[in-house]
Structure 1
Amino acid sequence: MSDFSTARQKMVDGQVRPSDVTDLRIIDAMLAVPREEFVPASQRAMAYLDLDLEVAPNRFLIKPVVLARMLQASDVKATDKVLVVGCPTGYSAAVIAQFAGKVTATEGDAALAAKASEDMARLGYSNITLAAGMPADGHPANAPYDLIVLAGATEVLPTGLYKQLAPGGQLVGVFALTKPARAMIVTHSHDDFGSRPLFDATAPVLPGLEKLPEFVF
């Protein structure tokens, strides 16, 4: 077993499983996807640590356990169309693509998005479309979605993304509107959007989803 395979197994056994992630599809996906391929070569030794890993300026892979717990709460179906926003190198999309039908992922930096798309092709992920686009904009061209995953935190209500959910669709992400920040799940039902908290969590705020500074007179 390679050093990275061993590290991947330790990530699952030491971080994911102890956090009550019992969905074997998620566990198998995290064991299958080589996270080291989604980080710069200089940071590969850190690929499986329990941290938000900066892979480009102000671009992060969120903690594996936060991603795993959000996916378990959303109960992804094999037929689901999924949108992942703020996906700089494609890792979150690659994990989800192991057990979802079709995955669209967006990244605001066009150069990063292009490289991630090339890497997806090289690694053989044929059910992922990776496009340039800011997190708050989503990807209307492929909407509506059964699930939207924020690969980071938001400090504002992402109402523009809500409109891209199919009836019965869900959005999951870390909401940092209040303290402590919490992972939340939002469900589109009868032209309304209901939310419920999942667990306390932190993640870097996605570009464009920051709270605007308040003016003090």
Structure 2
Amino acid sequence: MNLEQARFNMIEQQIRPWDVLDPGVLELLHFVHREDFVPEAHRAQAFVDTELPLSATRRMLAPKVEARLLQELKLQRHEKVLEIGAATGHLAALLGRQAQRVIALEADAGLATQAAANLRRAGALNVTVLNQDGAAGLAAEEPFDAILLSGSVAELPQALLNQLKVGGRLIAIVGTGPVMRAVLVTRTGAGEFRRVELFDTVAGRLPGFAEAPAFSF
């Protein structure tokens, strides 16, 4: 496989058509090599427009979804970011190139180990991976400028929103299949938040988050 041609095709045929046009994000996708974060068994599919299986219950987000979430977060170089669902570390590496510091939580011990190793090899020295559940966030390190959930949840816990700075942003994929939406929540005051729905998509569930209660009749 010609990796650079495959990477170029991924960006031009999948990512740009999904309204990812930020030059900084597009440059990062060339610089941070996605294939280095894909398990060996699926490396030939690193640039395919689909989620990739990482374990029985976890998946790596599709390239265009990762890119769009990164673009919508609009990170600044001085910011501190919390990622929930590090998986193999690819999105954490991208975040680390835009922010001052990234803390990535991963509930699966095996994936946390892989992510830490992948990030070391990539030289992402400002990214820390912690093997722990992410539903409660990381109160010891709050407040955060940005929080990114790298997978879907049924509902957003208020505990995560409360760990944002005023002006901070949280982005996540929320809902139950087949209807899910990426949403951006900005903290506008001490107890005030503004929510914007960005785009429709579907993504695998993050572990540890409660499901929405079922309707009863």
**Do both share a fold (TM > 0.5)?**
yes
Please list the CA deviations of residues 156-210 of structure 1 after superposition, one character each: whole Å capped at 9, or x if unmatched. 2222211211111000011115863111000111121220101111111111225
The residue type paired with residue 96 of structure 2 is A
CA distance in 2, matches of 1:141, 1:114: 22
SS state at 1:130 partner: strand
Aligned residues of 1:156 and 1:177 also touching (Cα < 8 A): no
| Deviation for aligned residue 1:118 | 2.2
The residue type paired with residue 32 of structure 1 is F
Please give the residue correspondences for 1:148-163 in structure 2 after superposition, counting only pairs within 5 Å.
148-163=147-162
Which sections of structure 2, spanning at least 5 residues, go unmatched?
A: none
1:135 aligns with 2:134: yes
CA distance in 2, matches of 1:17, 1:216: 43
Name the counterpart of 1:59. 58
Aligned residues of 2:177 and 2:202 also touching (Cα < 8 A): no
Aligned residues of 2:15 and 2:63 also touching (Cα < 8 A): yes
Name the counterpart of 1:123. 122
| Deviation for aligned residue 1:61 | 1.2
CA distance in 2, matches of 1:169, 1:213: 28
1:201 aligns with 2:180: no
Name the counterpart of 2:7. 8
Which sections of structure 1, spanning at least 5 residues, go unmatched?
A: none
SS state at 2:97 partner: coil
CA distance in 1, matches of 2:213, 2:189: 34
CA distance in 1, matches of 2:214, 2:174: 19
Please give the residue correspondences for 1:1-217 in structure 2 after superposition, counting only pairs within 5 Å.
3-176=2-175, 180-191=179-190, 192-211=192-211, 214=214
Distance 1:93 1:70, change over 3 A: same
**Deviation >4 Å, runs of 4+:** none
Aligned residues of 1:40 and 1:55 also touching (Cα < 8 A): yes
